[in-house]
Every structure is written in structure tokens, then in C-alpha cells.
Amino acid sequence: MSNPTNIASADVAGGSNAAPPWGSNTALPVTQLAQARNASVYVLGGSGMVSQVAYCRLSSPHSIILSEPLNLVSLVGLVTDPSEPGSASFTAALSSLNGSVFGGRILNLVAMDSVLLTALLSQKREVFHED
């Protein structure tokens, strides 16, 4: 179905494991790959350490911002239409260094030194019609 690729390299379509650069928004390479390939990208997993997170809970319309070392337990999400702003959606479970676990819809997630994402790239197929 798909061939392996690195999210940081938009040369090959397929599945991927990638480490976003330290201090960057973790979802940015996923969005950039979707835009470069005009394709949907599905994040199947993510783990590692992050330094900052902005997220929303279902029970509150207000965002929560934490700036501290956090363990990214799980990250899933997708970019469905790279040409449409706001078409990316990510959900994460995180734990603090004291062991409390929390999560929600992610607005921003800043990588520390060891975040690994696993993603699948779904290439859009061009359909040509002969007249």
C-alpha cells in the first residue's frame, strides 16, 4: 500500500517515523509534508518529551497552556486537506513528571529532545477524463 518515508523528507510517499526538531511545534512537519505532497497524513502514534503544550478539554472552550517538561504518552491525529487552514486535528495524552496523566485536543506541542512520530501518508490520486 505505502512505502516507508521520513516526515522530514518529502521525497517518498508512505509510512514514516520521524523526530521533529528540538524546540519546534511537533505537528509542523506533518502539516508541511501534507502540503508538499497535497496528501492526507495520519499520525498513528507519538511519544517522547515535550517542553510546552497548549490543549483544550472537551469540558471547556478555553485553552490550557503548560510550560514544563512533560512526557508525551500518545499522539494521534490527521491532516485531511493540506490546502485548507484548520484541517489538522491532533489529540494527545501526556503525563507530568509527578505522574499525573491528562490530555485533550492539541493546539500546540513543542518538542524537547526525543519526540518520535509515526505517520501514514495517503497520496491523493489524480483522475483524468478523456473527452
* Predicted local confidence at residue 123, as pLDDT: 73
The predicted structure's pLDDT at residue 96 = 93
Distance (Å, whole) CA 112 – CA 26: 9
What integer pLDDT is reported at residue 14 of this predicted model?
45
pLDDT in tens, 68-88: 999 999 999 988 887 777 788
b/e map 42-66, b = 16+ CB within 10 Å: bbeebbbbbbbbbbeeeeeeeeeee
Find how far residue 47's CA is from the centre of its chain: 11
**What's the pLDDT score for residue 2?**
38
Gap between the terminal Cα atoms of the chain: 31
pTM over the 0.85 mark:
no
**pLDDT value of position 11:** 31
Residue 94 has pLDDT above 60, yes or no: yes
Query: How many Å apart are CA 104 and CA 56, to the nearest integer?
Result: 6
Specify the pLDDT at position 131.
62
Residue boundaries of the structural domains of the chain: 15-122
Selecting from 3.40.50.20, 3.30.1330.80, 3.40.50.720, 3.40.50.2300, what CATH number does the domain 15-122 have? 3.30.1330.80
